[in-house]
Amino acid sequence: MKEEKSSENLFSEFPKVHMEQWKEKTIKDLKGADFDKKLVWRTPDGFNLQPYYTSEDLNALDYLKKFETSILYTSDGTQGPRYWVNREKIVVEDVLTANKAAIDALNSGADGLIFDLTGKEGIDIKLLLKNILPLHCSVSFIADRDAAKLIKGYFTYESENHIETNQLFGSINYDPIRNLTLKGKMANDGFKVLKEIIEVTDSADRFYGLTVNSAQFQNSGASIVQELAFTLNMAVDYIDKLNELDTSADKVIRNMEFSMSVGTDYFLEIAKLRALRILFYKIAESYGLSDFDPGNLNIHSTSSLWTKTVYDPYVNMLRNTTEAMAAVIGGCNALTIAPYNENFEEPTKLSKRVSRNVSNILKEESYFDKIVDPSAGSYYIENITDEMVQKGWELFTEIESEGGFIKSFTLGKIQSRINETRAKKLKLVSQRRDIFVGTNQYPNTNEKLDVLMPDQSNSQESGEIEILQPQNGAIEFENLRKKTDAFAEKSGHRPSAFMALIGDNATMRTVRAQFSAGFIGCGGFKIIDGIITNSTEEALKTALEQNAEITVICGADDDYATEGIEFAKKFKATKKDGILAIAGYPTEILEDLKAAGVGEFIHIRADLIETLKRLQQQLNIN
């Protein structure tokens, strides 16, 4: 009988590779290139992430072990060890229609509801919740000034139906400070309303009367650390303001839920939710709650608006899936995935079904509900978590030293930080260093958009404090492309770009033609693929026959010095009004090419937004 080897013995047969050895070999493979510039990622939040971590990198992070598996367990034995609520949002316009949609959602895989009652008052709670049993699902609400009345009515209604208060499961999302960030003002009695709500919800262990939202930060362009810190600053302001109304910190905290938006920076988003529990534990300790269990912190995760596009919208499904995975692994207790088309049209039955089933697939087919904290002990994620904790606490305390969130926001300091980060993020999008597939990379140039572009402006009255501007991070691209689409529809002709192939370097001319086609295609221009010819004269003749508004010379730098300049001179002599561009940025002959008539250079460092704007201006596309 053969002796079985343990996994420990198996790995012992391989020599251990130390970090220094790995780095030495990597530097050799880089052939002189700078290791830090090539492989170390400087995140938008200012900390470095190495390409390789070992167990030694966890030696200084022992404190994180205290927070492993700090995720709410389910008391229902029929559920997996890792349980989260699949909450579906129902926007209430008509009570009967909303009730029907809610029942359909529950019958189709949702196990939680969140009724959006924004702008609605005096809702008939009996009609809204008819045939909905809170013993079998989570019921939550988004509400305005009517929030206290709503929650009192809900608790009374369920009591009349012989449902014990402690069996109610859900939350009420009334967030006056968020209103300050989005409207420039908040209700004078907002904290009193919250006090009334908490007096009601405190009798229900699993119903949360205070929701602290982060989506307005992420969707306005804030970094992940900024979102984390500012959300915690809001939470502290709530604790302090309610304490002034004789509501203890302990009472506020046990009624508090965090609603955290999750984007597509997969590992960073996982670490963000883990860091939230750790940092809030530190905050709870500062209020004297030394026995606070971070696993009791309820986190509701939502998909991000910033990452969703109007063009090529089916990619939003993939983005939603990435965000959902990060949220679950990071430790959310409830998850709401918006339909992929919610940001530009009324969601369809299909789009609702797809978003609802993301959560179900993660449970039923991907088994995410079988492991409580899968990232615990991961060299990479633990190090990111530590960086989030350190940077998040640093920024959090900085805002506190400015007087807290409300004061800092009123003075414009929060907005200033977010605006600076937003500008950097938009620049990365414009340079295609931050990719939106289908929008600023790999556009479907044959796509026809039959919907109106969403109005993402957040208007405010003159004289009020600056407010946040949630938006899709690629909206500037989409607005540019929509202008070209509108021009084509009005004129009956879509401006085109022809890829003129020159020289004998087949690899370079093909690669540069493909790059340029994707670059210019982002502006909604029709792309005409290049044709291989035998001479510069033939290439020129072919380009003139195509009669495209934009002609892009595609070849190798060596060919540009001779054939490229010749092509440009003869092209401009024949077609003076034609826009001539070149694929690449040959610095040594740059001025010669410009003198020959080349007006644009299409290359990896070019600002795509500015280039497309110039092309549109030259073609009178307004």
Backbone φ and ψ of 458, nearest 5°: -120, 85
Q: Which residue type is seen at 549?
A: E
Residues 6+ apart with CB under 8 A from 509: 501, 502, 503, 530, 554, 555, 556, 559
Write down the pTM of the prediction: 0.92
Phi, psi dihedrals of residue 336, rounded to the nearest 5°: -125, 115
pLDDT recorded at residue 186: 92
Torsion of CA 195, 201, 203, 205, to 10 degrees: -130
pLDDT of residue 32: 81
pLDDT at 220: 97
In sequence order, the β-bridge partners of residue 205 are none
Q: Are strands 256-262 and 210-213 parallel, antiparallel or unpaired?
A: parallel
Neighbours of 179 (CB within 10 A): 18
Q: What single-letter amino acid sits at 121?
A: E
Nearest CA among 87, 82, 85 for reference residue 376: 82
The predicted pLDDT at position 7 comes to 55
The structure tokens listed for 131 are 């045939």
DSSP line for 431-472: TTSS--BTTTBS--TT----SPPP-------TTSPP------
Domain limits of the chain?
17-54, 84-174, 190-480, 495-618
Edge-to-edge, what's the strand order for the sheet holding 85-91? 206-208, 169-173, 138-142, 112-116, 85-91, 334-336, 298-303, 256-262, 210-213
Which DSSP string corresponds to 261-279? EE-S-HHHHHHHHHHHHHH
Return the pLDDT at 13.
Answer: 74
Please name the fold of domain 495-618: Rossmann fold (3.40.50)
Give the Cα separation of 579 and 574 in Å (integer): 12
Specify the pLDDT at position 499: 97
Query: Residues 171-215: pLDDT tens digits?
Result: 999 999 999 999 999 999 999 999 999 999 999 999 999 999 999
- DSSP string of 214-252, one letter each residue: -HHHHTTT--HHHHHHHHHHHHHHHHHHHHTTT--HHHH
- At residue 371, the 3 state secondary structure works out as coil
Low-confidence ranges of the chain (pLDDT < 50): 1-2, 72-75, 77, 462
The superfamily CATH assigns to domain 190-480 is Methylmalonyl-CoA mutase (3.20.20.240)
Q: How far apart are CA 294 and CA 285, in angstroms?
A: 11
For the beta sheet containing 550-554, the strands, ordered from the edge strand earlier in sequence to the opposite edge, are 526-528, 496-501, 550-554, 579-583, 600-602
Name residue, tokens 């700090």: 70
Which residues is 208 bridged to in the sheet? 171
CB burial class (10 A; 0-12, 13-18, 19+) of residue 622?
Answer: exposed
